[in-house]
Chain A
Amino acid sequence: MSRYVIKRILICIPTLLVITFIIFSIMELTPGDATRSILGQDATEESMQELALQMGLDKPFIVRYGNYIIDLVHGEMGVSYRSDQPVFGEIVNRFPTTLKLAVGSMLIAIIIGVLLGVLAAVKQYSVMDFFGTAFAMLLASVPYFWLGLMLILLFALKLGLLPSMGNSTWVHFILPSITVCVGTTASILRLTRTTMLETIRQDYIRTARSKGQNERKVIFKHALKNALLPVLTVAGIEFGNLLGGAVVVESVFSLNGVGCLLLDAIKFKDTPLVMGCAIFLAFFFMLIMLAVDILYAYIDPRIKARYQKM
């Protein structure tokens, strides 16, 4: 088992290298001058060149990339061009907001998605099934930033029940979380329904029923536990997307999370900050996928068996 975990962790290293390389190359292609964005519009040609020399911007691309990676390994993410603050500190300051938003919407998505998915599958072709499927389809069709605006319009501006911006209390996260979770809820609902439909036709479910187990236990203990495996993987992927996809929603609700930070950084060509945000989010995503895979290996005896033989 530990072999599997170690192997899985080692795979992360080249992945992270490739990701940094891709983002670094994209930023390289971005028009605009880094020295100008630091020194401002009325900087002289000389001072700009001096700064470029100081920052090592005159070196070839591959050398700068190499230096970046060496710094990264030493835990240095560089200094933001715009605020002159260490990138890592800026991200860590903003991250709790993004994480709260992602966790909140993930919880809503899992609770609603799994519950409605199970109901739809257990009573296939019933009103409940129709309602669940239609609901999922509607959720998948709504642009989430527009839904956010509609929620603000209704609950914040018209009814005055919930705040529309800020991140001081958990109440501030209600509307953003509902907004971000729609797509995830839809995909979890659909997937739960599909896997549940397959699972309740399995022999071991018939066995459970025939030994006189009550129906609720059959569904929630025997069937759901097995049906949730693929849902777990998708939930992991979706969680990563929630972290990254919150960019738009953070700007709708004026939440100062990593998404907003990234958007500003991209607009100002603040390369160290963009790189930092990208690596941070990708790293976090990989941690989640790693956790999901390891959890999977523990739950699914087939994976466990494959690695125990060695």
Chain B
Amino acid sequence: MINPASSASVRRYKKKSRLKETWRRMKKNKLSLIGLAVFSVFVLVLIFADVIVPYEVALKQDMANRFASPSWTHLLGTDLYGRDIFARIIHGTRNSLTLGIAAVVVGMTLGGTLAAVAGYYGGKIDMVIMRITDTIFCIPFMLLGLSIVAALGPGLRNILIAITITAIPNYVRIIRSAILTVVGQDFIEAGRACGARNRFIILRHVLPNAIGPIIVQATMQVGTMIIYSTAFSYLGLGIQPPAPEWGSMLAEAKNYMLSAPHMIIAPGMAIVLVALSLNLMGDGLRDALDPKLKD
């Protein structure tokens, strides 16, 4: 007879070791550590934006100081209204990063639920869900996103809805295939034979074992979603001025490209840095979570 205290401690030990194991393996990939460091900086900026630069600085216009080049007073120069670009990028992080993370979390949750149902139960439910998914997949994503934004009107929240809905079919496909590799295995059948309920099996056995590829995709998708959302803002459909956002900063800078290139380089570099750090992290995670590469 196993006493409950020791079984609980065994479980805790196992959980800790899985996280530790992933971290140990990820540490070997130096590039992914750089990615993690850079992304952490962005998350810190997201949290402490107001401590770094007050929000008012990002909005304050200074017509005497338009298109100023980078200097000590304005680290990244000023834009067409004389606003400090550094401050706008810092506060733009809030909008862009939150949007990217929220889109992936919501999309993955909804897509994951559909995928779990489709992959686990199979049969007719699977067919219906996948048929619908494939159909939506046939609509080019930009087209679907644009029509949704057109229907809902511009704005941060509507862009979030548009890019989330557009991305869901892709998530369903990815997560379903991750789940299918688990569903056929013996321990799932053992769970069924024990009389466990389906919901319990999906949540406790299927998902934890399929989570590796899902985490990797989620990490990389945040970058992709940020790029899409900035594309919408670039087209003038995103967050409305004067609120700072990377995509709309690029749209503003477009007309002054030759005379004030600093306006267009800085926000673009911010997007590249975030996306690159997430991609590097995802790549390292993939290797760290892949059981085939275990040493």
Question: From B230, which residue of chain A is reached at the shortest CB distance?
Answer: A143
Chain B min CB distance to A138 (Å): 7
Is B279 a contact partner of A141 (Cβ separation < 8 A)?
Answer: yes
* Segment among B4-12, B105-113, B264-272 that sits at the interface with chain A: B264-272
Chain B min CB distance to A283 (Å): 9
For the side of the interface on A, what is the size category? 35 or more
Are A153 and B227 also in contact (CB < 8 A) when A27-B151, A286-B138 are? no
Q: Which among A23, A141, A142 is the interface contact of B147 at CB below 8 angstroms? A: A23
| Complex interface: chain B residues within 8 A of A143 (CB) | 227, 230-231, 268, 271-272, 275
| Complex interface: chain A residues within 8 A of B151 (CB) | 26-27, 29-31
For the side of the interface on B, what is the size category? 35 or more
Are A262 and B250 also in contact (CB < 8 A) when A15-B134, A137-B280 are? no
| Complex interface: chain A residues within 8 A of B230 (CB) | 143
A18 CA / B198 CA spacing, docked (Å): 32
In the complex, A145 has a CB within 8 A of chain B: yes
A134 CA / B250 CA spacing, docked (Å): 26
Question: From A186, which residue of chain B is reached at the shortest CB distance?
Answer: B279
| Complex interface: chain B residues within 8 A of A14 (CB) | 135
Q: Mark A238-253, 1 if CB is under 8 A from B, else 0.
A: 0011011101100110
Question: From A133, which residue of chain B is reached at the shortest CB distance?
Answer: B283
| Complex interface: chain B residues within 8 A of A285 (CB) | 138, 140
Question: From B280, which residue of chain A is reached at the shortest CB distance?
Answer: A137
Chain A min CB distance to B119 (Å): 20
In the complex, A263 has a CB within 8 A of chain B: yes
A141 CA / B280 CA spacing, docked (Å): 10
Is B147 a contact partner of A27 (Cβ separation < 8 A)?
Answer: yes
Chain B min CB distance to A178 (Å): 16
Interface centre among B153, B230, B231 (most CB of A within 10 A): B231
Q: Which among B135, B142, B147, B268 is the interface contact of A248 at CB below 8 angstroms? A: B142
| Complex interface: chain A residues within 8 A of B49 (CB) | none
In the complex, A109 has a CB within 8 A of chain B: no
| Complex interface: chain A residues within 8 A of B134 (CB) | 15
| Complex interface: chain B residues within 8 A of A133 (CB) | 283
Q: Mark A145-157, 1 if CB is under 8 A from B, else 0.
A: 1100110110001
Give chain B's interface residues, CB within 8 Å of chain A.
Answer: 31, 132, 134-144, 146-148, 150-153, 220, 223-224, 227, 230-231, 234-235, 250, 254, 257-258, 261, 264-265, 268, 271-272, 275-276, 278-280, 283
Give chain A's interface residues, CB within 8 Å of chain B.
Answer: 14-15, 18-19, 22-23, 26-27, 29-31, 133-134, 137-138, 140-146, 149-150, 152-153, 157-158, 237, 240-241, 243-245, 247-248, 251-252, 259, 262-263, 266-267, 269, 274, 277-278, 281-282, 285-286, 289
A–B pairs, 25, beta carbons within 8 Å: A15-B135, A18-B132, A18-B135, A22-B139, A26-B147, A29-B151, A137-B276, A142-B275, A143-B227, A143-B230, A146-B268, A150-B264, A240-B140, A244-B140, A244-B141, A245-B141, A247-B143, A248-B142, A248-B234, A262-B146, A274-B150, A278-B147, A281-B140, A281-B143, A286-B138
